[in-house]
Amino acid sequence: MPALCWRRGSGGTDRGGRRLVHFNSSRVDENADFGGNRITTSLYTWWSGPLKLPWEELFLKRSNFYFLARSRPPTPAVLRWREPAAPARLAQVVSALQCWPEVSSTGGMPTSLFGLIPVVLMGMAIKIQEDRLRHQSDYRANTARCRRLVDGVFVDARWTDVQVGDLLKVCNREGIPADLLLVAASEPDPDTLRGACHVETMQLDGETNLKGKSPPGALPGDFGPPVERHLRSIDSEAPDGSPNTYNGTLHIEGRPAVPLTVVNMLLRGSTLRNSEYVLGIVVNTGHDTKVIQGLRAPSHKQSTLLSSINQMIVWIVLLLLVLCLIAGAAELALYHELDLVDHWYMNTQKEEDGVAATFLVNTVYFFLLLSAFVSVTLYVNILLSQKLIQYFMQWSLSMYDPESDTPMRVRNSQLVDELGVISHVFSDKTGTLTQNVMQFRKASIGGIAYGRGTSEIAVARMKRLGELPAGEDVEAGATEGAAAHSPPGGSVISRHVNFDDPALVEALGGSDEQGKRCREFFLHLALCHTVVTEVVYGERSLSASSPDETALVAGAERFGYRFIERHHDTVELQGPDGEPLQYEVLDVLEFSSARRRMSIVVRNSQTRAISLLSKGADTVMLPLLASGQEELVAQTEAHMHDHSNDGLRTLVIASKELSEEEYLSWSERYRRAASDLDEVEKKSREEPNAIDDQCDAMESRMRLLGSTALEDKLQEGVPACIADLVKAGIATWMLTGDKEETAINIAYACELLDSTTTVVVVGLKTHPNVEDITRALREATAAAEESMELSANAQRGRRALVIDGGALGLLFGAAPEAPACQLEFLRFTQTCATVVACRCAPAQKAKLVRLVRRNVRGVSALAIGDGANDVAMIQTAHVGVGISGKEGMLAVNAADFAIAQFRFLREMLLVQGRHNYRRIAVTVYYVFYKNIMFTLVIFWAQFFAAFSGTKWNLEAGNQLYNVLLTMFPILWFSVFDKDVSDETSLALPQLYHLGPGNHFYFNWRATLRWIFQAIYESLAIALLCVFSLDGLSPDGESPGLYLIGACTITLAIVVPNLKLILWFFSWNIWSFVLIGFEVVLWWGVGGVVASEIKPENRGTSGEFIAQFVLGWYKLWGNVNELGTFWLLMLLVPAVVLLPQVFYSFYMRRFHPQFRDLAMECEYHGLPIDALKAWQIPAGQRQRRLVKGAPRPLYQASRFQRLCASLCGSKAKSESARSTATRA
């Protein structure tokens, strides 16, 4: 939460971390002690912004703080080294240097503020614009309207007027103003006021399905306003940010206390659906609501390039200090060597000052003179480039999905360049690689398989195995057959059912045992779910917790059992002959990732028979079946195996008949466990609990009905996208919860695997312990390394690993052998182009990403997913990409980038990412280069001034150099330059390999090359100017330092701007216009400074202004009249730039990179087909592990470990580890 959010105290109502909400008692006024319902997510206000914004810009940015430290006025505070704030006070001393006349190169005036202020203002303007949107959002939320009970009447009120303890009335499709305890919901039958309702939680948890809510079961049937008739208080948990858990106790007059769970709560951020209105009591308001408590500051992800920049700044500053020490020592040596005691005009120090003091003053002086070594606009250049790139990426039509009207979104602009260095892609399957639009395709009922035709995945498998008949379109035939043989249905059925088998229709109409099984099977599908019907724009739709349930209910409807409506505790169906069917819902045993199944207990309203209906994954359902069904189980397993090979998702369907006594006995035990707050708390923490034990007791000895097979087709363009990612040298990992057979066949269909791939399969069945897994991985690694040694062309794409969740559980387990197993896993996977993790739990996805990120050198991981179970993986990776699909927006909200289709990842990485990284890498080098070159010109000039520190340059030019005179051309380059066209980037994915690992665009070799260029060019400018202009006049007079300085600073501005022409690949008129503008602008600045301000016309601020124009009065005209000056304007750029031209020609002619060949082909219009066969060398693909691998997945910070060591307590160490884990 923002630190500036004002919150009221909770008074005496918080007891041991819990809160007590009062009703109908003398303590009701204590509810006012809780905070109001106003929320504030903005970061700045009119009074805090002027204080916080400058602080953040000046002190939290290393580059800006560096310049501020040179220009702040001195402080009278005295250093007290024993205080904790001594480092901060030391920074205050450094900040006063430019105002210290004895060491200042500007006469004691803080002239660096002139260049720093525009940079700070620019950064502040960007933050203000972003915060303005937050203010607008806060205003809309705080001024929304609701109905509040006042003196027995519901009156209109603003959300900010709501207080804890209020009774609110919320109507259909209205937002919930606060966290409410649901006490009543409207029903068609007026006698059932306490009916259930449904809410949409898109804004709360990102999920699109409707969630059922119901009042506490022990409330009186006539409960309604006035609330004082029954309620006394609510003992509620302390506010937290978990939207899926809640525990509290409701105290009712004359009744036992009633436990409360999240099912009884309507949370702020959700929207009421399918009910005319509901009544709710406010429990939490404002910043105590779960949606606001759940807000977290976005994780600060730093790009690889920015991390390298921070390291470079340290080295650049160290180089600056070396130059200052050299200059300080040289001045001291020349002072005695040249006997400069009487040269008062050189401002030399006196001998009586002492050698040490003189050396220190000289060093500090040169530090200020050469301080432009670090660019004041470094971060601004990068920030502006990233922001502009963000807008152009979001406007790109190549990443726009017209079907859903969804453009690509950049949620973290600081990572746009990181898209160019991705080495690993970790992808979810369902909804990411597939459409997540399930279709009921096949079934196994009573040991008989139904459903003909071949799925898309099966077609790919048959093609790979050579089993597809020549010229036959299997998929088209299946679709046409489905339309011909399936009973008619509405749009819901047509979207979610693609079933072709007239035998099933015939069986359903039969009176034999198989017909009875089929009817029972589809009745089961029509009842065992949590689907809700809605009418949207006049069309009936199904809202389900997952697309699987929608397909199953649609399948039941297609074959005669139509789901009509769900009420509070009843389900209405329509039978095959149109007869109405009604079932009473007694209990719902909900699905969870740990249980992997869901069940429902129903009672037939006519026969009063009670049944348990259950469905779930085969791994958990088959062990729960009653004995004596071995043959049926074997037949069903065989059918599921065939369906998995076709890439279909399978579920086991089972049931059990219950007697009244058996159900009542179990129900008593279940409700006792469900009302135990301790057990509810254990269940919320996913710990062993009595509630799950009772569920397990009910879900036992079941009778197998059969299995379903659903098809989830691949998204458009997925195979082509993945094939290009593999060609680009990106390792692609598919992490899915599907069965091994399903996962492997989908991997083949996605081009993750092909016929040349050597697949290593590691599963719990074949490798039941850690030692076996380690041995298998070690052998696979040895075979891969041997293959690389035997063939110089061996590629990582020829190996793949398939590992299941059970083996991953051992890999991440607590066994002593687990670290060795992780090491072998990392070694082998670095030889693989593809890893497929099947039966993978959400927590294991994040662990895999973290394992690779922490232990592989030079890795940059991208995680992409579409659901809530992908959030941890997305947040763990260097770059997170969310797909706005069928499972809501939670993944998108947690991601750094959002796209609508997986295929857009191809454009985002191979085109946008590659261009972004190359351009910003050159931008960073260019900014460092021009500042080093500019500053070294001043340094070389000191050799001709006995290192007296005499300043030649115009101070106005010094301060405008970065913010005005060299900024715009590089900004244009960083956004628009392209070495090859987008089409060529897509046609040759191998171009991408120059980014990952920083082995071409950004590395220490390139850094040194830029620094040597800056040294050479600065030396050429200084020497040519000094020797060309020395003794210029006929009588042998010296032209003066300021005239030489005018020439050097002009060349120091012209040369970097001209040099940028050599780095532009896509030249256009604007490139030359901006470069010419910078040069002309300098001529204008020089003319204004030289003609307008006379030394004697100084006002009250004259001393400050004089430092910017010192020595330039009437100078610029004299400079422009010199023929030698114009000769230097031609000679110097040729001397400094021609060597780079020749070097570039030599490298492209005799040592061309793959990119050079692509550029030549594109420039001359030659075909690039021959280049498409080029493969990335294996040495550039494979990455080394970091020293000490495998590192722990969770590790405390240095500060936490230091605290633990100082305390000398193991408990403290464990606490630090726990803190790091939660973080």
845 annotated ligand-binding residue = yes
Crossing angle of helices 690-698 and 660-674, in 10° steps, is 160
501 is catalytic: no
Could you tell me the sign of the dihedral formed by the alpha carbons of 376, 378, 383, 384, in that order? Answer: positive
516 annotated ligand-binding residue = no
What's the longest Cα–Cα distance across the chain? Answer: 125
Backbone torsions φ then ψ of 232, nearest 5 degrees: -120, -50
Contact 883, 898 (CB under 8 A): yes
**Dihedral in degrees, nearest 10, Cα atoms 925, 927, 931, 932:** 0
- Encode burial over 646-671: b for 16+ CB neighbours within 10 A, e otherwise: bbbbbbbbbbbebeeeebeebbeebe
Contact 647, 455 (CB under 8 A): yes
- Distance, in Å, from the CA atom of 474 to the CA atom of 459, rounded to the nearest integer, reads 7
839 annotated ligand-binding residue = yes
- Distance, in Å, from the CA atom of 1107 to the CA atom of 13, rounded to the nearest integer, reads 64
Could you tell me the sign of the dihedral formed by the alpha carbons of 714, 716, 719, 722, in that order? Answer: negative
Contact 1154, 1171 (CB under 8 A): yes
Q: Which residues, other chains included, contact 1129 with Cβ-Cβ below 8 Å and sequence gap of 6+?
A: 1050, 1051, 1054
Residue in the structure block whose two tokens are 């006997």:
339
- Distance, in Å, from the CA atom of 614 to the CA atom of 1101, rounded to the nearest integer, reads 85
Contact 376, 117 (CB under 8 A): no
Contact 841, 593 (CB under 8 A): yes
442 annotated ligand-binding residue = no
Token output for 417: 């360049």
Q: Which of 694, 691, 703 is nearest to 624 (CA)?
A: 703
Identify whether 226 is preceded by a cis peptide bond (ω within 30 of 0): yes
854 annotated ligand-binding residue = no
866 annotated ligand-binding residue = yes
29 annotated ligand-binding residue = no
7 annotated ligand-binding residue = no
SS3 669: helix
Q: How many Cβ atoms from other residues are within 10 Å of residue 37's Cβ?
A: 27
Q: Which residues, other chains included, contact 50 with Cβ-Cβ below 8 Å and sequence gap of 6+?
A: none
Backbone torsions φ then ψ of 873, nearest 5 degrees: -65, -45
Backbone torsions φ then ψ of 419, nearest 5 degrees: -65, -15
591 annotated ligand-binding residue = yes
Strand partners, 281: 167, 181
205 annotated ligand-binding residue = no
**C-alpha pair distances (Å), 1 with each of 137, 294, 895:** 15, 9, 19
998 annotated ligand-binding residue = no
SS3 108: coil
Q: Which of 688, 751, 739 is nearest to 714 (CA)?
A: 751
615 annotated ligand-binding residue = yes
Helix, strand, coil shares of the chain, percent, nearest 5, are 50, 15, 35
**C-alpha pair distances (Å), 1093 with each of 737, 1018, 1081, 1087, 1118:** 75, 30, 18, 11, 16
951 annotated ligand-binding residue = no
Catalytic choice (205, 428, 500, 712): 428
Backbone torsions φ then ψ of 606, nearest 5 degrees: -90, -50
**C-alpha pair distances (Å), 104 with each of 948, 1041, 1098:** 13, 19, 21
- Distance, in Å, from the CA atom of 925 to the CA atom of 998, rounded to the nearest integer, reads 14
1154 annotated ligand-binding residue = no
13 annotated ligand-binding residue = no
Contact 239, 307 (CB under 8 A): no
What order do you get walking across the sheet with 231-236 strand by strand?
A: 14-15, 18-22, 231-236, 248-252, 258-260
Binding residues: 428-430, 549, 591, 615, 649, 736-738, 839, 845, 866, 869-870
Positions marked catalytic: 428
Binding residues for Mg(2+): 428, 430, 866, 870
Binding residues for ATP: 428-430, 549, 591, 615, 649, 736-738, 839, 845, 869-870
